Amino acid sequence: MNRLSAAARAQIIKSLVEGNSIRATCRIVGVAKRTVLRLLVDAGEAASRYQHEHLMDLPCKRVQFDEIWSFIGAKAKNVATAKRRTAVMGDIWTWTAICADTKLAVSWHVGGRDMTACRSIVSDVAGRMAGRIQITTDGYKLYPPAIEEAFGWNGADYGKVEKVFKVQPSSGRYSPPECIGCSRHTVMGNPDVDHISTSYVERTNLHLRMQARRFTRLTNAFSRKLENHAAAVSLHFLWYNFGHIHATLTKANGGIHTTPAMAAGVTSRVWTADDVVALLAE
């Protein structure tokens, strides 16, 4: 790793955040797989550390929560028959929290789809807000008790969206069931009903699935190790927050290239891969 130049590191990081797999990155840059994986873990740790320290006192007014599925090594149903067994295998979930106004990824958590993970991300978000916020989630039952615990009763304005899907299976094997309706409900406080929505966080999760190769369905690019998966997620969100030029934010800012972190006042410029490499020296 010490022999790798800063320019080569930047090229590797740029390749990874633009949706290339580990092996594709090796071919593009001309380096060994182990070198790319080591840099991914180091960059992921630096990205997580930097955002943990700097995404504080955020001016968010509306925050949306959701979860996105992936797997480590093998899907849960195939773990028992997997040829290569590791300590952590099966389904893994990435919990995300997105500011609806700045599109900033406020927080994320990689883990199970359980109360421990839910409490972790909700309490983390609660500690990063500068003021009272409106929260929106889907109808998942773990959110209400976790939000009440983190914010206190009536400590936030909380509404949820409950979707109704067709009972019969969809026409395609991997197609989601058809949504035939949804309802909005006030859970706590006095949320603005017009803003009870999970559209922005769902769109951000789509961006994660398209740009982070490990989330691409029906490929062999899935994660084999939890450490690498968590690092890839942290690196993705660092680039999404600081390096990804958001079209809607740019238009609202008079055509000036704008990232979610710029919109939230966390930074004043668009980051490059060189800026990510610079974090490795800190």
Residue 50: partners with Cβ closer than 8 Å, 6 or more residues away: 238, 279, 282
What is the pLDDT at residue 217? 86
Of 232 and 89, the one with more pLDDT:
232
What is the pLDDT at residue 250? 97
Q: Which of 166, 118, 162, 109 is nearest to 143 (CA)?
A: 118
Residue 222: partners with Cβ closer than 8 Å, 6 or more residues away: 70, 71, 72, 73, 214
What is the pLDDT at residue 62? 98
What is the pLDDT at residue 170? 55
Mean pLDDT of 129-137: 97
What is the pLDDT at residue 1? 45
Instruction: Give the chain as a 3 state SS string.
Output: CCCCCHHHHHHHHHHHHCCCCHHHHHHHHCCCHHHHHHHHHHHHHHHHHHHHHHCCCECCCEEEEEEEEEEECCCHHHHHHCCCCCCCCEEEEEEEEEECCCCCEEEEEEECCCHHHHHHHHHHHHCCECCCCEEEECCCCCHHHHHHHHHCCCCCEEEEEEEEECCCCCCCCCCCCCEEEEEEEEEECCCCHHHCCCHHHHHHHHHHHHHCHHHCCCCCCCECCHHHHHHHHHHHHHHHHHCCCCHHHHHHCCCCCCCHHHHCCCCCCCCCHHHHHHHCCC
Q: Which domains does the chain have, with CATH numbers?
A: 6-279 (3.30.420.10)
Residue 171 predicted with pLDDT over 80: no
Residue 138 predicted with pLDDT over 50: yes
Burial of residue 158 (number of CB atoms within 10 Å: 0-12, 13-18, 19+):
buried
pLDDT tens for each residue of 231-259: 999 999 999 999 999 999 999 999 999 99
Mean pLDDT of 193-209: 95
Among the listed ranges 4-13, 35-44, 148-157, 162-171, which one has the minimum average pLDDT value?
162-171
Bridge partners, 109 (sequence order)? 95
pLDDT band at 168 (very low <50, low <70, confident <90, very high): low
Tokens (6 digits) for 107: 């927080």
Which residue type occupies 173?
R
What is the pLDDT at residue 189? 96
pLDDT tens for each residue of 96-105: 999 999 999 9
pLDDT band at 81 (very low <50, low <70, confident <90, very high): confident
Q: What is the mean pLDDT of the chain?
A: 93
What percent of the chain clears pLDDT 90, i.e. is strictly above it? 81
Cα separation, 250 vs 69, whole angstroms: 30
Cα separation, 118 vs 95, whole angstroms: 8
